[in-house]
């Protein structure tokens, strides 16, 4: 469970992000909203800048709230569990230029190297010990081990990861300046593409043999 002190820090972070964005709306990743409320109608066809709004007569108080208090009961192959607070998991963020998530990493778990093409990420650790790493476009690696209450920032579209380096589960809350930051798995993009990227491209790019590429493909197929 997220402690009250951690939630206070989380609230402070949210407030700081809002204060930073209000004077400079052009810095937000999404267009400015044209109405007070636009709860996403997830059953409608998505438009260019989000989902159509649910009819105002069908908006309820519950639409403005979500629950990040529950610990996960299952993890994926990376020992990772995600609670979604983007437009698909929390429709109230539709057109609001913000989204948030809860990520839990079991002992030894990792959120593998990836990018968010549409958003800057700011996060706060609420439990455990987390190694956060960032790689810039000039191949410089920045990293730090964080404990509860510590905050990190991932510039838009840079490769980054989070690794649980502690002896207990770790939890962190990332917040984005867009309702749908998107995610590009740096490894999956290459090895899981359909149709497959030719082995010749991968062997020449990584300077390894076909056996290595085939072993990676096989390992990923078994874990999917």
| Per-residue pLDDT tens digits for 17-32 | 554 455 444 445 677 7
Residue 200, token pair as written in the block: 């010749």
Binding residues: 111, 114, 116, 121, 160
Cα(174)–Cα(122) distance, integer angstroms: 6
Binding residues for Mn(2+): 114, 116, 121, 160
Domains in the chain, CATH or no CATH each: 72-88+98-180 (2.60.120.10), 189-222 (no CATH)
Binding residues for oxalate: 111, 116, 121
**Chain position carrying tokens 């020449």:** 204
What sign does the dihedral 197-200-202-208 (CA atoms) show?
positive
pLDDT, tens only, 169-207: 999 999 999 998 999 987 888 898 899 999 999 999 999
β pairing state of 170-176 and 99-100: antiparallel
pTM above 0.95, yes or no: no
Alpha helix stretches (DSSP H) within 45-116:
none
pLDDT more than 70, % of the chain: 86
Nearest to 30 by CA among 164, 120, 144: 120
Q: In Å, what is the CA distance from 57 to each residue of 37, 38, 39, 186, 194?
A: 12, 12, 11, 43, 43
């Amino acid at each position: 469970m997220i402690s009250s002190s951690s939630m206070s820090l989380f609230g402070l972070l949210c407030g700081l992000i809002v204060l930073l964005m209000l004077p400079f709306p052009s810095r937000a990743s999404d267009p400015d909203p044209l109405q007070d409320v636009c709860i996403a109608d997830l059953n409608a066809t998505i438009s260019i800048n989000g989902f159509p709004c649910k009819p105002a007569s069908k908006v309820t108080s519950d639409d403005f709230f979500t629950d990040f208090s529950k610990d996960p009961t299952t993890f994926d192959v990376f020992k990772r569990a995600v609670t979604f607070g983007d437009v698909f998991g929390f429709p109230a963020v539709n057109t609001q230029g913000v989204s948030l998530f809860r990520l839990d990493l079991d002992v030894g778990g990792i959120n593998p190297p990836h990018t968010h093409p549409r958003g800057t990420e700011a996060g706060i650790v609420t439990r455990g010990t987390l190694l956060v790493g960032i790689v810039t476009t000039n191949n410089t690696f920045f990293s730090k081990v964080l404990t509860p209450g510590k905050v990190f920032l991932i510039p838009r579209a840079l490769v980054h990861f989070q690794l649980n380096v502690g002896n207990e589960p770790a939890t962190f809350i990332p917040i984005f300046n867009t309702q749908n930051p998107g995610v590009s798995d740096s490894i999956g993009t290459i090895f899981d593409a359909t149709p497959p990227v030719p082995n010749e491209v991968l062997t020449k790019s990584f300077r390894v043999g076909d056996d290595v590429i085939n072993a990676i493909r096989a390992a990923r197929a078994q874990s999917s």
